[in-house]
Amino acid sequence: ETHGISFRIQISVKEVLDTDVLLKLLFHLPVSYPSTVPDISVTSDQLTRAQCMDVREKLLEEAKRHLSEPMVHDLILWVQQHLKDVIKQSAAVCNEKTTLSKGTEDGIWMLLLHLDHMRAKAKYVKTVEKWASALRLTGRLMFMGKIILILLQGDRNSIKEYLILQKTSKVDVDSSGKKCKEKMMRVLCETELQSQHKRFQMFEVKEYSALEELQKEFETAGLTTLFSEFVPPLLK
């Protein structure tokens, strides 16, 4: 009723690059769907991460053409018919991105989380700082109005370990003051750091008085696309 629904669909697309491609599509339908386009995640063992991102972008473009009408079935039909074309168009770009990603600092990963609230803010913040320090993660814990974001960079195993801690530890308190686990966290993005992204040198807790300040933080780190894709929807 408040967060919509999420579901995963696996489809096999034939005759692409002379082999079957298994696509895993994760759809999150917000409460306002179909007046709002769904959030879509695309993964496949046969495609590069860059190709998956291109497929996702094309699906989101197609979704905008179906606003105000149920669209998931149409999107699946569309990707089955057009996957080959999307891969052809992005082939040169994908090769370039793959080369660049190999040049990053030994597979540094980035994670962007959204938290719904912090009741015991001081304790929660100290816990996040402690975990980031112990796992040698850099980044930001960002507050802007009611928006709470955690942006982390570091070794992929450390990123995954942080996620486990965040989901399984009693980091906050409920409405009655009892310690509780984080149940309202969303992973907005988890990806390998690219050459255009800048490394944070430390982990900092920062508060922003306006959206423009928060946007500038992302832009300074070369994360303009990450900001525009994930942050503005949180204001709706």
Give per-residue pLDDT as tens, 225-236.
999 999 999 987
Both tokens of 223, joined, read 């994360």
What pLDDT does residue 102 have? 42
- CA distances to 77, 91, 114, 121 from 147, in Å: 36, 37, 8, 13
Does pTM top 0.75 for this prediction?
no
What pLDDT does residue 96 have? 47
The yes-or-no verdict on residue 94 having pLDDT over 60 is no
Q: Are 26 and 6 in contact (CB under 8 A)?
A: yes
Q: Are 193 and 153 in contact (CB under 8 A)?
A: yes
* Band of residue 89 on the pLDDT scale cut at 50, 70, 90: confident
Give Cβ neighbours of residue 118 (< 8 Å, ≥ 6 apart): 124, 125, 148, 172
Distance CA(81)–CA(76), nearest Å, equals 9
Domain with CATH 3.10.110.10 in the chain: 5-93
The yes-or-no verdict on residue 202 having pLDDT over 60 is yes
CA 208 to chain centre: 21
Domain with CATH 3.30.70.100 in the chain: 108-234
DSSP-derived secondary structure for 110-144: EEEEEES--SSHHHHHHHHHHHHHHTT-EEEEEEE
What pLDDT does residue 100 have? 44
What pLDDT does residue 204 have? 95
The yes-or-no verdict on residue 86 having pLDDT over 70 is yes
What pLDDT does residue 159 have? 92
As a whole number, the mean pLDDT across the chain is 86
CATH C-level class of 5-93: alpha beta
Q: What is the mean pLDDT of residues 3-9?
A: 87
Where is mean pLDDT largest: 133-137, 180-184, 191-195? Answer: 133-137
Q: What is the mean pLDDT of residues 100-123?
A: 77
User: 178: which strand partners?
Assistant: none
Q: What is the mean pLDDT of residues 167-192?
A: 88
The yes-or-no verdict on residue 217 having pLDDT over 90 is yes
What pLDDT does residue 90 have? 61
Domain 108-234 has CATH 1.50.10.20: no
Q: Are 181 and 115 in contact (CB under 8 A)?
A: no
Closest CA to 143 of 165, 171, 122, 173: 122
Do the strands 19-29 and 5-16 form a parallel or antiparallel pair, or are they unpaired? antiparallel
Give per-residue pLDDT as tens, 128-171.
999 999 999 999 999 999 999 999 999 988 998 999 888 888 88
- CA distances to 19, 74, 132, 204, 213 from 207, in Å: 50, 42, 18, 10, 9
